[in-house]
Amino acid sequence: MKFKLKKINSDASFREFFRFYKGKKTSIIVTAKKEIFKNLIAYSTVNKFLRENGIYTPKLISKNYREGIMEIEDLGDKTLLTYAKKSKDNSKIYKKCIDLIIKIQKIKPRFKLKIKNKKYIKLISYNINALHKESDLFFDWYLQGVLGKIKAKRYKKLIKNELNKLYKNIYFKNKFFVHRDFHVSNILLKKNKLCLIDTQDAIIGNPLYDLVSLLDDVRIKIKSSLKNKMFQYYLQKSKLKNEEEYLLKNDFNILSIQRNLKILGIFYRLYKRDKKPKYLKYMPYTWRLIQLRLQNKEFKKLNFLLKKSVSNKIRKKNFF
C-alpha cells in the first residue's frame, strides 16, 4: 500500500491540514503548534457532540494531542462557497444552510461537553462581556493600526460606550447552541449531505448569531433582496416564528455590527501579527456590511462615531 501526505489550504487558526493517502483511501491530518486545546481537543469534542445529535461533522479517527496531531475523516474540499459563487440563484443553497441552523438550534444546549472520564470542555455564554471582548479586537488591532495608539484610545472609549448601550438592548437570551462561524466556507458538501467544520468556537448564545454569520458573510457578496428573503425564510421555519419580527431584526443588526467589527480586528491581526495578508482583501466589503446595518435610526450615534474615526479612504485602504 502506498502512503502519501499532501498539504492542503489552512484556515485562520494555528492549525495545518494535510490529506493522507492510504492507497485509495484518504483522511485528514490536523496539526497544531499553538492553542492545542482549542484547535484539536475542543474541535473534536464539539464535532462528536454534534454528530451525536444528527449533525454531520468530521469523525475522529486517531489522536495524539500531546504531540499536537490528530487524524479525522476526509469530507472532501467542496465547500458551499464554491457552489454559491457559480450559481445564478443561491436561494436553494441558503435555504439548506438555514435548515441546518434550525436543526442545530433544536439541540438541547449544554455548557459542558465531555471529553473523556471526568474531563470536560466548557462552552461560554455569549453575554455582554463576551461581546465586548470580541469587539475590543477592532479597537486594539484595527483602529490602533490605522489611527495610532493615542487617537484609537480616545475613540475606543466613545464607541465602546455606544456599543454597550446596543448590547444591553439585545432581546433574545443565550439559550441556543451557536456554531459562531457559520458560513458557506465552513460547510462542505459530500454525497448530498451538508458537513459542518470549524466547530471549535461553539458557544451558547443568541439564535440570530449563526444567521448573521451566514447572510452577512464577508467572503461572498449576496444581494440584499436574497438576504431579506432568507431572513423571512428563517422567520417562518424557526421556533421563533411567533416572535415580533422587529425584535429579530434588532438582534440581527446589533450582532452583525458586533461580528464585523470583530472581523476587522481579527483580519488586521492576521495581517500584522501572523503574516497572513490574504484576509485584507475582505476589509472594504466588511465595512460595507457594517454600514448596511447602521442605517437604522437607533444606530445614528454609533454611525457618526465610526465615520468620524474611520474615513472612507481608510476603509478602502489595503495596508500595503
Winning range, highest mean pLDDT, from 117-126, 186-195, 252-261: 252-261
Phi, psi of 300 (to 5 degrees): -55, -50
How does residue 77 score in pLDDT terms, banded at 50, 70 and 90?
confident
The per-residue pLDDT of the chain, averaged, comes to: 92
Cβ–Cβ < 8 Å for 279, 318: no
pLDDT given at position 64: 93
Cβ–Cβ < 8 Å for 249, 115: no
CATH classification for the domain delimited by 3-73, as one of 3.30.200, 1.10.10, 1.10.3470, 1.10.150? 3.30.200
Over residues 238-263, the mean pLDDT reads 94
- Residue 128 makes CB contacts below 8 A (sequence gap 6+) with 164, 167, 168
How far is CA 50 from each of CA 56, 74, 108, 133, 139, rounded to the nearest angstrom?
Answer: 7, 17, 11, 26, 34
Tens of pLDDT, residue by residue over 181-235, are: 999 999 999 888 999 999 999 999 999 999 999 999 999 999 999 999 999 999 9
pLDDT given at position 8: 84
Q: What share of the chain is helix, strand, coil (3-state, %, to 5)?
A: 50, 20, 30
**Distance between first and last Cα of the chain:** 48
- List the one residue out of 298, 282, 302, 294 whose CA is nearest residue 142: 282
- List the one residue out of 252, 274, 307 whose CA is nearest residue 35: 274
Helices of type H across the chain: 36, 43-52, 80-86, 91-105, 128-137, 144-147, 149-168, 209-215, 224-237, 245-272, 283-293, 300-309, 312-315
Give the orientation angle of helix 149-168 with respect to helix 300-309, to 10 degrees.
170
Tens of pLDDT, residue by residue over 15-62, are: 889 999 988 899 999 998 888 888 899 999 999 999 999 999 999 999
pTM of the model: 0.93
Domain ranges of the chain: 3-73, 80-315
CATH class assigned to 80-315: alpha beta
How does residue 264 score in pLDDT terms, banded at 50, 70 and 90?
very high
Burial of 32 (0-12, 13-18, 19+ CB in 10 A): buried
Q: What CA–CA distance (Å, rounded) separates 196 from 183?
A: 10
Residue tagged 460547510 (cell numbers): 187
